[in-house]
Amino acid sequence: MGTARLRAAATGFAAALLALTAGVVPANAATVSVDAAGADLVSLSVVDGDLSLRIRDAGQMARQAVGHDPADVTLGPDGGVAVRVPQNEAFSFLGAPGTALWSLTPGDAGLPALDTTGVDRGEVQRDAVRLSLTAAEGPGHFTAYTLSGLGAPRLILGADARDVALPAAARIPMVWAFDAAGDYRLTLAASATLSTGRTVTTESTYRVSVPPIRPGPAAPLPAPAAAVKAHASPLAGAKAVPGAASAAPTAMSSPATPEAAKAAPARAATTGVRRVISDGHVDMGPQLSGNDWTIRVRDDTASPPVWREVADVVLHVKDNAKATVPAGAGFLGRPGDTIWLLPQAQQAGIVWPGWNTQHESVVTGTRGNVTWTLAGVDGPGRFTLFLTGSFGNANVLFDSAKSLPQRLPIPPNTHAHGNWAFSKPGLYRLAVQMSATTTAGRTVTDSKTLTIAVGDNTNPNSGFSGGSGTGGAGKPGNGDSGGTGRLPRTGESWVIPVVAGGLLLVLTGALLRLAARRRDAAAAPAEPTR
């Protein structure tokens, strides 16, 4: 009888324990699903003297939020894409051409990133953080690689690459690829030596669920990587860009404050405060206030971030952004031509412009896409905006060499970056327009002129209204500063100046002919008086 009672008590205790623990998830279980599109999969920062490793999705990035502990996150099986290794030797580290892969990205747009913007330049020795793959468990191979703005890949982590030096204050698009379906556990460790001499480390395990891999045809062949001669890759060494120490003092700086301070929203700047930005992160995007729809520039080089009027901002593209057009990239010019390239990846010493539709008023106050229109380009050369895909293939969004206007639909709550290319130095004025439909069904539109000064010899202050610069660059509508020639492009906002200029020439010619006739009449001898 005593034994029976003991068994009953044990059974009752087990049932009670099961009831108490039902629904309780262990502390180390992955509980959050994150969309990798445009996310910072590896976000490193120094907070209160310690090194932090987090995952930030697009929404957290917009709020400057800290992000998730990777141990609490599940990546996949949704949100990725099945692909095949292209016929290109530069991608041989992924396997034989035609090998099926699953990429942790929705496709060519919105690549996830390595993010070290939370590590200020000068905060760690050699301005570098070392990232290591200490363990990789799963049914197949894991490979991580980056792409330059002109499509050249670089293996950073995998079976043949266990660690990499990351530059401080950078955001670098990358591809995570897997060659077999199943569950993976990837352990990443990061380390750095603070400027004080103390070494700091952190480590976390990522969980990735890869679905069955069923790719379509092989990806198209991109430009040969051997032909690419761009400025230094952001992973080429501890220093991201040669000469970065001479950059303007507007460098992006993440506040070295408690984590809560990083979530501060952007504030509105005082109108009329001019700002030249040559380094750090900026976005152009719309805002809705009542019936007013306005395009502004979010300046993340300020702390806290500031929304500025477009007319108060000039972006300065310095000569450290020079690159060479590779073979197969005819949309940028002839092979060997020099261009100025603001890459899709953030690099220290170079301004990093993007676009976003993440302002709360846009997310909650509009329906459908926001339409970004490039209505006209005034400048000394060609302007091109394009995305670099997983295999280096280019997706051209805007090209001033083609007929304008050109339009790009942008889903709400989007934050994106591309490659901004300019063929000549000088002053460029981009006539941009953004339109949307409010939740009430009303169409709202705003037009602005975004000014970009290209080259060390171009005075960015000449881009402000009334400014003066080298070679007459301050003259409204004349973008020839340090370059040769002028490239006006057809678009609604540029038709009136062209027509007016033609009428002015006709009128000037008529006045000159009239003046000449009067001079001839005055010079003729007078007839004798009869």
Do the Cβ atoms of 102 and 61 come closer than 8 Å?
Answer: no
Q: Return the DSSP state at 108.
A: S
Strand ranges in 318-441 using DSSP code E only, listed in sequence order: 322-324, 338-342, 351-356, 366-378, 383-388, 394-399, 406-410, 415-417, 419-422, 426-438
Give the per-residue pLDDT at 417.
86
- Compute how many other C-beta atoms are within 10 angstroms of the C-beta atom of residue 498: 11
Average pLDDT over residues 449-473: 77
**Token couple for 446:** 């705003």
- 171: pLDDT confidence band, cut at 50, 70 and 90? confident
Picking from 19, 51, 17, 58, the residue whose alpha carbon sits closest to that of residue 35 is: 58
pTM of the model: 0.62
Average pLDDT over residues 96-125: 83
**Token couple for 443:** 């169409």
Contacts of 20 (CB under 8 A, 6+ apart): none
| Mean of pLDDT over the chain | 76
Residue 336, judged by CB atoms within 10 A of its CB (0-12, 13-18, 19+), counts as: exposed
On the question of pLDDT at 273 being above 50, the answer is yes
- 302: pLDDT confidence band, cut at 50, 70 and 90? confident
Q: pLDDT tens digits, residue range 322-361?
A: 999 988 788 999 999 999 999 887 887 899 999 989 899 9
Residue 311, judged by CB atoms within 10 A of its CB (0-12, 13-18, 19+), counts as: middle
Between residues 8 and 191, which one has the greater pLDDT?
191
Between residues 160 and 447, which one has the greater pLDDT?
447
**Token couple for 204:** 């976390």
Q: Identify residue 214 by its one-letter amino acid code.
A: R
- 64: pLDDT confidence band, cut at 50, 70 and 90? low
- 235: pLDDT confidence band, cut at 50, 70 and 90? low
* Percent above pLDDT 90 for the chain: 47
Q: How far apart are CA 259 and CA 45, in angstroms?
A: 10
On the question of pLDDT at 241 being above 70, the answer is no
**Token couple for 253:** 């700086």
* Percent above pLDDT 70 for the chain: 69
Please give the angle made by the CA atoms of 330, 82 and 150, to the nearest 5 degrees.
25
**Token couple for 51:** 């090194």
- 59: pLDDT confidence band, cut at 50, 70 and 90? low
Place of tokens 């000039």: 314
On the question of pLDDT at 110 being above 90, the answer is no
Do the Cβ atoms of 404 and 490 come closer than 8 Å?
Answer: yes
Residue 417, judged by CB atoms within 10 A of its CB (0-12, 13-18, 19+), counts as: buried
Between residues 201 and 258, which one has the greater pLDDT?
201
Q: pLDDT tens digits, residue range 469-512?
A: 333 333 333 333 333 223 333 333 333 233 334 433 333 344 44
**Token couple for 222:** 């991109």
**Token couple for 460:** 């960015």
Q: pLDDT tens digits, residue range 125-142?
A: 988 999 999 999 999 999
Average pLDDT over residues 181-199: 96
Partners of 191 in beta bridges: 130, 201
Place of tokens 């404050």: 257
On the question of pLDDT at 366 being above 70, the answer is yes
Strand ranges in 269-382 using DSSP code E only, listed in sequence order: 275-277, 280-289, 292-299, 306-309, 313-317, 322-324, 338-342, 351-356, 366-378
Q: Identify residue 6 by its one-letter amino acid code.
A: L
Q: pLDDT tens digits, residue range 15-40?
A: 443 333 333 333 444 567 777 777 88
- 522: pLDDT confidence band, cut at 50, 70 and 90? very low
